[in-house]
Structure 1
Amino acid sequence: MLTLPNILTLSRIFTVPVLVGLLWWPEWPLGYGLGFAIYCLMGITDYFDGYLARAQGTVSKLGVFLDPIADKIMIAAVILVLAARGILTGPYVGSLHVIAGLVILLREIAVSGLREFLGSAQVSVPVSKLAKWKTTAQMVALGALILGTALPHWMWLIDGYEVNVPHTVGLTTLWTAAVLTVITGWDYLRIGLKHMD
């Protein structure tokens, strides 16, 4: 059933290759600027597809199925491209910032598997407020990392390091998202364990 909310969700999925293509060349700030605009547009459609579906009373099984998949595809693609192109590096720990992205990806896989298992047991796991904060943090983090590469000259001197402001905000927020990811992942796991023999 191709309602407007479902079309918006599908548009996010089909736009991921375009976003990946724009983010593949970190030495091309304009590409990252366009990528940032597309990323923001994808985030807006993420909000509006759910809002419109509820407002119009057109929540469908296809939409419920596709929406989390679209989110995970977008987040995973951006994290992988930023890691591959060396964007997830920064002061103090260098490339160890990749671990924050890895934690987020592993949690998404684990929770998806857990939801599938609980779905077969007809157990619903509602999204917690903390999980929504986690999602917000990772969306802001990845957007800031993209913006930092689009604006390579936005630099400050901090503790003897010359750092790109949005990039540093992005790395800090990515670690915040990773911590929230562990906490919310553990919450989901505790719920799941209650329904396992």
Structure 2
Amino acid sequence: MNTPNLLTILRIVLIPFFVFFMLAGGSEYSKWIALAIFAVASLTDTLDGYLARKNHQVTNFGKFMDPLADKLLVCSAMICLIDSGKLASWIVIIIISREFIISGFRLVAADNGIVIAASWWGKLKTVSQMTMIILLIADLGGIFTTLEIVVTYIALVLTVVSLVDYIWKNKQVLSMQG
């Protein structure tokens, strides 16, 4: 098991701890601990990809598990943000729907021996979603409230754009039979 794959696994392992502190409530410290865990987990996403490319350690495990770890982290955070009233459920439904569609595409492609790596649109989508989540958890108020709204809609638009781009670039998957 190489370092990038271990970082991906670490990101998955951090999720229950993040959720615990997000939902613990009752303490201002819980929010900041959750934010720190989310930020560390998010940074492992950047680091594992960088190390995998730099050290020529890109693996099929990483190609599948890295996006899955991102989805688990981001979706868990967004669901917690619905619970706290900081994110509208319809936004989360759109974002999670996109993730299910892409996962389905990846499964059909994999069944046909094709591994589809993340696109730049998908990477921008992930960064925007993680930034949105960090801002919403921090909940700094003032001008940051406007920034939270803007970044939330940027994340939503990039989610839809990355879905359309992904389907368009991989439309041959739609015609494949397993």
CA distance in 2, matches of 1:138, 1:54: 23
Q: Which shifted more, 64-73 or 11-20? A: 64-73
Corresponding residue number in structure 2 for 1:143? 134
Match of 2:167 in 1: 189
8 Å contact from structure 2 (residues 129, 155) kept in 1? yes
- Residues 140-160 of structure 1: per-residue CA shift (max 9 Å, x gap): 000100111xxxxx443xxxx
Q: Return the offset for 1:120.
A: 2.2
Instruction: Tell which structure's C-alpha radius of gyration is larger.
Output: 1
The answer to whether the aligner puts 1:166 opposite 2:121 as a matched pair is: no
Of residues 35-44 and 15-24 in structure 1, the stretch that sits farther from structure 2 once superposed is: 35-44
Instruction: Give the aligned residue type for 1:54.
Output: R
TM-score, normalisation: structure 1 = 0.79
- Structure 1 gap segments, 5+ residues each: 89-96, 149-153, 157-164
Provide the TM-score with structure 2 as the length reference: 0.87
Return the letter of the residue paired with 2:168: R
**Relative to 1, partners in 2 of residues 1:180 and 1:46: Cα closer, same or farther, differing over 3 Å?**
same
Q: Deviations over 1:32-51 (max 9, x none)?
A: 11111111111111111121
Mean alpha-carbon deviation: is it higher for 101-110 or for 44-53? Answer: 44-53
Contact 1:22 1:34 in 2 (8 A): yes
Match of 1:46 in 2: 45
Spell out the pairing of 1:35-184 with structure 2 (5 A cutoff): 35-88=34-87, 97-148=88-139, 154-156=140-142, 165-184=143-162
Q: Provide closer, same or farther for how the CA distance between residues 169 and 28 of structure 1 changes in structure 2, counting only shifts above 3 A.
A: farther
Alignment: residue pair count:
175
CA distance in 1, matches of 2:168, 2:59: 29
Identity of aligned residues (%): 29
Bigger share in helix: 2
Paired residues of 1:115 and 1:125 also in contact (CA < 8 A): yes
Aligned to 1:16: 15
CA RMSD, Structure 1 to Structure 2 (Å)? 2.0
